[in-house]
Amino acid sequence: MNEANLKLADGRAQTAHGGKAVYGAAVCILLLDTKFPRLVGDIGNATWQFPVLYKVVRGVSPHDAMRGCAAPHDL
């Protein structure tokens, strides 16, 4: 098991367990490789009340996604 022991600025000890690439994001949103103005409220231009991680799937257009041509290795 991966474990990291930390000493906080106030002197308390904290131990982190596990091993993830990203911590603190409540939701991950995949976006297609598009370029257009995103209005406020669009999923790509939103103000969330919690941490969100965005990932653009490069090289996958809306047309590709609808045809099922998304390359899984890009995710």
Q: What is the mean pLDDT of each run of 10 residues along the chain (75 residues)?
A: 78 79 79 88 85 87 80 53
Mapped onto helix, strand or coil, the DSSP state of residue 46 is coil
Please report whether residue 45 resides in a domain. yes
How many angstroms separate the CA atoms of 52 and 36, rounded?
A: 21
Q: The tokens 């131990």 sit on which residue?
A: 15
Please report whether residue 66 resides in a domain. yes
- 63 phi/psi in degrees, rounded to 5: -60, -45
For 54, 64, 75, the CA distances from 58, given in Å and listed in that order, are 12, 11, 9
Please report whether residue 3 resides in a domain. no
Q: What is the pTM of this model?
A: 0.55
Domain hosting 33: range is: 22-74
Please report whether residue 7 resides in a domain. no
How many angstroms separate the CA atoms of 66 and 15, rounded?
A: 44
Provide the domain count of the chain: 1
The whole-number pLDDT of residue 73 equals: 54
The whole-number pLDDT of residue 3 equals: 76
